[in-house]
Structure 1
Amino acid sequence: MNLSEFSLRRPVFAVVLNIAIIVFGIIGYTFLGVRDYPALDPPNISVRTSYPGANAEIIETQITEPLEKAVNGIAGIKNITSQSSQGSSNISVEFNLGINLEEAANDVRDKVSQAQRSLPTDLEAPPVVSKADASNDPVVIMLLQSDKRNALEITEYANNNLVERIQTVPGVSGVNIWGEKKYAMRIWFDPQKMSAYTLTPQDVQAALLRENVELPAGKLAGDKTELGIRTFGKINTEEEFNNLIIKNINGADIRLKDIGEAVLGPENEESVLKESGVPMIGVAVIPQPGTNYIAISNDIQKRLEEIKKDLPEDIRLEVTNDQTVNIRKSISEVKETLIISFFLVVLIIYLFFRDWLIAIRPLIDIPISLIGAFFLMYLFGFSINVLTLLAIVLATGLVVDDGIVVTENIYKKMEEGMPKWQAAREGSKEIYFAVIATSITLAVVFLPILFLEGFTGRLFREFGIVVAGAVLISAFVSLTLTPVLNVYLSRKVFKHSKFYVKTEPFFNGMENGYRRILKGFM
């Protein structure tokens, strides 16, 4: 007893199995991420080092080159690129595809830690090692600008009112602010006055480290009372900085205002983001790996509607770039293609069988195979992207083949006068192994894609697995559900339709012509 005969004897069991495929497919679909292309970026580790005041040559010789030499010995590195600029060093280490990102990051951290002894001792902080992946690109970019506020005030408003509200959107990994201006106390020196007092910038730095500090002061305890003590040692305002005592010379206190001036301003004055002379900042939303970009975009749009209700009149907030626009277009085009494919499949089957009851059966077989493919995508950790959607469209034409072959053979038995249950059993039994062999052959054709190396192999791996999986699921559906449908969706008394009777001479002519051509070649 093969699978088809068992399904005919246990039709409820066959229906339940196919319903299970639909249920698991729907469950898998709900957990799939949606993005434009598969996440194929190679492991990329960046090493950033800050050395304020140093020019590009010093950065390169004292920081970049020692770190490059240390990192260069790690196995699996594809290439190393570095950039040495005023006050900062940035090294990007790209690894080969297939290298584990966590292991690569740990190897780079170990090498950087070993190289720290050869770096300048007065670095403000050790080099920062960070990871990069395909999900680091922002999914939504917004611009915040104002005609009345400067960049400092706009940045402060964004950090206090926008960032936290957007970060709470499900699926958001972080929010980056482009062109931000942070408040900082900038000290401007007068070289002539410093020379007159024989002071150097190092003296000012030492005074700041000595005076601008808040230390624990302990507590006061008595017989019945205990009080905690807090000392206020932090300097916050321009006036407090200007009154800072730098040095005592011959009994006279030399203050900061005597040799320069402290001014509250932006931390970085070398870059600015403007549009038509109006200052603005960019707010970029970074998604978590494997999340649904469309769901994130929809939630952000809803959150922005709430935020705009509380926006001051002088501040404008608008979305300038939404990565999901192209994804939505791709999904919409796939939906249209699937609808056209379904219509053409039904039409072609009707033109050859000339029976609507048979023509509508692919509307049951095809969705089961395609929905089941979503569960395979979930098991393999794939996402809904351009290539997996292409695989679904291509599979639409492939998965219907097995059902047509089984249905045609059963239909032929019924034309010969065999009862429909017996026709379903005998018809499916005759081509049982043929259907299995055909489906395995189709699936195996796409399996070599799994063994392709490099970027191309990884790019098309999802495509091959989805198509092969859909074909194998269609074989199972054709051998279980299709025979059952041919029994329960067939007329009690078999007869040809009027359209069949009128068009049969045309098909007989085609068969006779083909027979004569074949005999001529033989």
Structure 2
Amino acid sequence: MNFSNFFISRPIFATVLAIILTLVGAMAMRILPIEQYPSVVPPTVSVQAQFPGADAETVAQTVAAPLAEAINGVEDMLYMTSNSADNGTMSLSVAFNIGTDGDINTINVNNRVQGALSQLPEAVQSQGVTVELRSDSILMLVALTSPSGDYNNVYMQNYATLNILDELRQVPGVGNAEVLGGGEFAMRIWMDPDKLAQYDLTPSEVASAIRAQNTEIPAGNLAATPQSEPRAYTYTITAGGRLSSPDDFRNIFLRTNADGSSLRLEDVARIELGASFYGVDARLNGATMTPIIINQQPGANALETANSVRATMEDLAERFPPGLEYVTPYDTTLFIDASVETVLKTFIEAFLIVIVILFIFLQNWRFTVIAMSVVPVSVIGTFAGFYL
């Protein structure tokens, strides 16, 4: 008895098996991820640091080298690349074997980075070193715009950072969301070289004065223990703390002049509230925009994730200030939807053609229906194999 005769002589068993295959395949269809391109690249962990004021060579020697030496040899690592720029930024990427757990890889790299922090310059440690699982799969791009021109790019970038990014990062399936450019509000201090020379000051002296007076210092208590005589009340002294406005920075004391007058920061520099980074100028149809790049989490369903992102943005848009809107200039799920529709259309056309051909040769509708019943079972059952 050959393989086919076994099922022919047992029609009930064959029917039950076909139903089970169809049900398992149908369930697998709902679980399998849908993406524009399959994940065929190694999972990558990104390490980023910043050394303000340092050139690329200094960053490579004092930041990239210690981190690379500490991370080298981490479990399941394939290769590692680093890039140091003249703006003081350092980006190090660690690629791992395909199929490894990205979260475990991130933890392993972070443990190595923590062990190397003491070797980094103090300025780098104060800025912080970030370790995150990087997803190269861009799902969509959301952009904030101000059609009426009420808000500039700095305001929109800061608004996105404070009110939108955290909400998008919590959407299931989103690997990461970041503002392109990252120009958050920052106090910009533009020193005048001529005035510095006039008052015999150096930029490092000005920077030291800013650091010394822009800090949180505990002021202590009055009538607190220990003391010789008990007091009925204890008073906590609250100091001003860190500076927050341009006027606060303008009044930073630098030194006392020979005539007894005070030299302040406003005498040698121009202070204004601006952006922390001016390296990106994004525009949409000639107007300023703030792009938010949304990366897909590895293995997530692109269509479901994109729908969740759209729903989240609709909820957030209800709280936007007047004159602020959002658009979606780039969405990969549009291509995915078109591809799925094309596949379904092709499948239906092929199914109808096969029915016609079978009927022409069999000349019997009953035999044709029996033969065609195999098609959905085999197609849907294939998804169960994909899931396994």
Q: CA deviation at 1:345?
A: 2.4
1:324 paired residue among 320, 333, 349: 333
1:353 paired residue among 362, 373, 376: 362
Contact 1:42/1:97 (CA < 8 Å) preserved in 2? yes
Contact 1:76/1:99 (CA < 8 Å) preserved in 2? no
Tell me: CA distance 1:73–1:166, structure 2 relative to 1, closer, same or farther (3 Å): closer
Q: How many angstroms apart in 1 are the aligned matches of 2:128 and 2:138?
A: 28
1:240 paired residue among 233, 244, 248: 248
Give CA deviations for 1:289-333 in whole Å, capped at 9, x if unaligned.
222111222333444455556655633422111101221122111
Match of 2:19 in 1: 19
Match of 1:336 in 2: 345
Match of 2:227 in 1: none
Q: CA deviation at 1:64?
A: 4.0
| 1:172 and 2:174 aligned | yes
| 1:280 and 2:289 aligned | yes
Q: CA deviation at 1:355?
A: 0.9
| 1:40 and 2:40 aligned | yes
Q: How many angstroms apart in 2 are the aligned matches of 1:223 and 1:63?
A: 53
Q: Which amino acid aligns with 1:175?
A: A
Tell me: CA distance 1:76–1:168, structure 2 relative to 1, closer, same or farther (3 Å): closer
Q: Which amino acid aligns with 1:357?
A: R
Q: How many angstroms apart in 1 are the aligned matches of 2:27 and 2:98?
A: 30
Q: CA deviation at 1:202?
A: 3.2
Query: Which one has a larger percent helix, Structure 1 or Structure 2?
Result: 1
For the residue of structure 1 that corresponds to 2:39, the secondary structure is coil
Q: CA deviation at 1:149?
A: 1.8
Match of 1:92 in 2: 93
Q: CA deviation at 1:51?
A: 1.3
Tell me: CA distance 1:10–1:44, structure 2 relative to 1, closer, same or farther (3 Å): closer
Q: How does 1:27-426 map to 2 (within 5 A)?
A: 27-64=27-64, 67=67, 77-78=78-79, 80=81, 82-95=83-96, 97=98, 101=102, 119-123=120-124, 124-125=126-127, 127-133=129-135, 136-146=136-146, 147-216=149-218, 230-248=238-256, 253-275=262-284, 278-305=287-314, 314-379=323-388
Contact 2:138/2:294 (CA < 8 Å) preserved in 1? yes
Q: How many angstroms apart in 1 are the aligned matches of 2:192 and 2:163?
A: 39
Contact 1:151/1:180 (CA < 8 Å) preserved in 2? no
Q: Which amino acid aligns with 2:204?
A: Q
Q: How many angstroms apart in 1 are the aligned matches of 2:80 and 2:277?
A: 31
For the residue of structure 2 that corresponds to 1:377, the secondary structure is helix
Q: How many angstroms apart in 1 are the aligned matches of 2:364 and 2:113?
A: 73
Q: How many angstroms apart in 2 are the aligned matches of 1:107 and 1:31?
A: 29
Tell me: CA distance 1:263–1:309, structure 2 relative to 1, closer, same or farther (3 Å): closer
Contact 2:82/2:90 (CA < 8 Å) preserved in 1? no
Q: Which amino acid aligns with 2:351?
A: F
Tell me: CA distance 1:217–1:378, structure 2 relative to 1, closer, same or farther (3 Å): farther
Q: How many angstroms apart in 1 are the aligned matches of 2:373 and 2:313?
A: 42
Number of matched pairs: 376
Q: How many angstroms apart in 2 are the aligned matches of 1:377 and 1:18?
A: 17
Superposition RMSD in Å: 3.8
Q: How many angstroms apart in 2 are the aligned matches of 1:302 and 1:319?
A: 13
Q: TM-score, normalised by structure 1?
A: 0.61
Contact 2:181/2:278 (CA < 8 Å) preserved in 1? no
Q: Which amino acid aligns with 2:349?
A: I
Contact 1:180/1:281 (CA < 8 Å) preserved in 2? no
Q: Mean alpha-carbon deviation: is it higher for 289-298 or for 191-200?
A: 191-200
For the residue of structure 2 that corresponds to 1:27, the secondary structure is helix
Q: Mean alpha-carbon deviation: is it higher for 298-307 or for 176-185?
A: 298-307
Contact 2:156/2:290 (CA < 8 Å) preserved in 1? yes
Q: CA deviation at 1:230?
A: 4.2
For the residue of structure 1 that corresponds to 2:304, the secondary structure is helix
For the residue of structure 1 that corresponds to 2:52, the secondary structure is coil
Q: CA deviation at 1:96?
A: 5.5
Q: Which amino acid aligns with 1:37?
A: Y
Tell me: CA distance 1:96–1:84, structure 2 relative to 1, closer, same or farther (3 Å): farther
Contact 1:116/1:126 (CA < 8 Å) preserved in 2? no
Question: Where do 5+ consecutive residues of structure 2 fail to align?
Answer: 225-229
Match of 1:437 in 2: none
Q: Mean alpha-carbon deviation: is it higher for 273-282 or for 261-270?
A: 273-282
Tell me: CA distance 1:342–1:185, structure 2 relative to 1, closer, same or farther (3 Å): same
Give CA deviations for 1:123-178 in whole Å, capped at 9, x if unaligned.
34465444334xx4221112222223211222233345544554454433332212
Contact 2:59/2:84 (CA < 8 Å) preserved in 1? no
Give CA deviations for 1:240-266 in whole Å, capped at 9, x if unaligned.
111122335676543222332322111
Q: How many angstroms apart in 2 are the aligned matches of 1:16 and 1:228?
A: 79
Give CA deviations for 1:421-472 in whole Å, capped at 9, x if unaligned.
xxxxxxxxxxxxxxxxxxxxxxxxxxxxxxxxxxxxxxxxxxxxxxxxxxxx
Q: CA deviation at 1:93?
A: 4.0
Q: CA deviation at 1:281?
A: 1.0
Contact 2:57/2:84 (CA < 8 Å) preserved in 1? no
Q: CA deviation at 1:233?
A: 1.6
Q: CA deviation at 1:118?
A: 5.8
Contact 1:308/1:317 (CA < 8 Å) preserved in 2? yes
For the residue of structure 1 that corresponds to 2:373, the secondary structure is helix
For the residue of structure 2 that corresponds to 1:185, the secondary structure is strand
Q: How many angstroms apart in 2 are the aligned matches of 1:283 and 1:70?
A: 33
For the residue of structure 2 that corresponds to 1:329, the secondary structure is helix
Q: How many angstroms apart in 1 are the aligned matches of 2:319 and 2:275?
A: 26
Q: Which amino acid aligns with 2:289?
A: M
